[in-house]
Structures are given as structure tokens and as C-alpha cells.
Amino acid sequence: MEGRVWYLPHMPTDPALQDIAHALRQAQRVVVLTGAGVSAESGTPTFRDAMTGLWASFNPEELATPEAFERNPELVTRWYDQRRLGCMACLPNPGHLALARMERELTARGGRFTLLTQNVDRLHQRAGSQNIVELHGTIMVWRCTRTGREVTPPPEPMQAFPPKSDDGGLLRPSVVWFGEMLPESALAASFEALDGCDLFISVGTSSVVQPAASFVFYAKRSGATTSEVNPEDTAITRWVDHAARGKSGLLLPEINRLAFDD
């Protein structure tokens, strides 16, 4: 093949990647915050992307509320079961797998790694991450509206909407709806991890929903190096020390390579 020049896909040389990798090499207590963007490459829609298909005419913020469930439990539970099955059909992407590796590397050297996620899809668990705090609950577990008892529905479409619990109530997803409080235990675990961390990485979140959007300030107060991995600027970009621009499925493995393999 005379004369043909093959250009290998080269990795981004964003200087922020080197800076984050350098901080990761030195870190002992790492906190990573993820949002819907880390699952985007697995095929799950982010919150602020337009909804597609059947649900295009619904705004998540209209369906993800106690009032919507009260008003139309059939519609809300159908939507959530559709999302639950959609998440099950997705696979963890290289970004999820890279965060699981990051945790293994920290743990192997006696460090500490905490993954705070706003996501409800459990793709981090399926990628092998261990120390996870689910800030907004999970779509994979539902609970009785009367007794609060939790069940894990089987991996197949629900047969009736709204689904009934065995305790005489309805079943609702164990996710945090707009206007609901985050689980106390999740908040306590988050602030405990942020207090004293030395590296904070925000991945795939627009950082507009509290309290997650303020975690970067708690990390800064602990003296941590703060960073972000996202294709575009977010509400915290101007506050972080290093902002790497790009998809997490590409950049997180590169950060690991620079931090652990070079």
C-alpha cells in the first residue's frame, strides 16, 4: 500500500488530563461525583438532553415528582419501568470500568476511594465499583407506598400499572423525586468522604442540582485538588483546578493510563 499514511487515533493531549493524573498518583483519599453523563455512552439519556421516542412529550421533571405519582400512578410507573428495563439493556462503558479500576488502584495502595453518584441505573455496580453512595436512590429497587418495604422487581416488564405491593399498597421506584429529601445516610456518607479528601473529580454532571452541585466547595475546603471531566463547561467549571474536556468513556481510561501505567 505504497504512499498511504495511516493516522492512528491519538489520545487527546489535554493538559488537564496530565494534571488530574498527577494528582491521582499522589492522592490518598479520592472522591468522584458522577452524573448522567458518565452513563451517556452506555446509551442512557441524560436528564437535560431531549427525551426521545415514546416519552419525548414528557419532561422528566414533570414525571419524577410525588405529585405526578399521586395524580397519575399508572403513567409514572410505566415511565419508570420503561427506564428500568432500558438501563438493564445497557452495559457499563469504559468510563464506568475506569472508575472501578481507579478504586482498585487506590485501595491496593492503602488509599480510600468513594464514588458518589446521582445516577439510579446501577451501571457503576455492574462495572465493579464497590464503595458507592447512591445520592438519588436506584430505579432497580421499588418500595411499597404503605409499608416502605423494598422489593427488586424481576428483569422483565411489569405486568400491571401501577404495580401493587404484597402489603396492600402500590409499588413506586426507590428514587429521590423532585421535592423529596435525599437519604440521610447518603448525605452523611458524602460529607464524611468529602471531609479530608485530597482529590475530587466531578464526572458527567451539569452540577445544577443540590446538594451534589456544592460538593466541590466541601472538597476545596478540605484542601483537595478539584477537577472535572465533561464535554462542556458546567456550573462548577470556574471553581475547579483542572477541567478536562471530552467524553468520560475516553478521558477516564486515559487518566488511569497516565496515573498508573506510565
Q: Which residues are catalytic?
A: 136
Q: Output the smallest distance, CB 137 to ligand OAD, in A.
A: 9
Beta-carbon neighbour count of residue 206 at 10 Å? Answer: 18
Closer CB to ligand OAD, 137 or 162, in the complex: 137
Closer CB to ligand OAD, 198 or 215, in the complex: 215
Q: Output the smallest distance, CB 119 to ligand OAD, in A.
A: 7
What are phi and psi for residue 59, nearest 5 degrees?
A: -95, 125
Closer CB to ligand OAD, 57 or 210, in the complex: 210
Q: Output the smallest distance, CB 178 to ligand OAD, in A.
A: 6
Is the bond preceding residue 162 a cis peptide, omega within 30 degrees? yes
Residue 234 sits in the site that holds ligand OAD (CB under 6 A): yes
Residue 244 sits in the site that holds ligand OAD (CB under 6 A): no
Indicate the burial class of 87 (C-beta count within 10 angstroms; 0-12, 13-18, 19 or more).
buried
Query: With CB under 6 A, what is the number of residues at the site for ligand OAD?
Result: 24
Residue 247 sits in the site that holds ligand OAD (CB under 6 A): yes
∠ CA 112-104-198, nearest 5°, is 30
Please name the residue that has the C-alpha cell 432500558: 86
Three-class secondary structure of residue 243 per DSSP: strand
Give me the residue whose beta carbon is nearest to ligand OAD: 37
Scan residues 50-69 and list those touching ligand OAD (CB under 6 A). 64
Site string for ligand OAD, 176-195 (x = CB under 6 A): x-------------------
Candidates 20-28, 84-92, 105-113, 198-206: pick the segment binding ligand OAD (CB under 6 A). 198-206
Nearest Cα to Cα of residue 219 among 192, 242, 189, 197: 197
DSSP 210: T
- Grid cell for residue 74: 399508572
Candidates 76-84, 125-133, 214-222, 231-239: pick the segment binding ligand OAD (CB under 6 A). 231-239
CA distances from 50 to 58, 171, 178, 247 (A): 10, 27, 18, 18
Scan residues 100-159 and list those touching ligand OAD (CB under 6 A). 118, 136
**Who's near 84: CB < 8 A, 6+ residues apart?**
139, 140, 153, 173
Site string for ligand OAD, 15-44 (x = CB under 6 A): --------------------xxxx-xx---
**Who's near 23: CB < 8 A, 6+ residues apart?**
198, 199, 225, 227, 242
Residue 253 sits in the site that holds ligand OAD (CB under 6 A): no
Instruction: Provide the binding-site residues for ligand OAD, judged by CB under 6 A.
Output: 35-38, 40-41, 46-48, 64, 118, 136, 176, 204-206, 209, 230-232, 234, 247-249
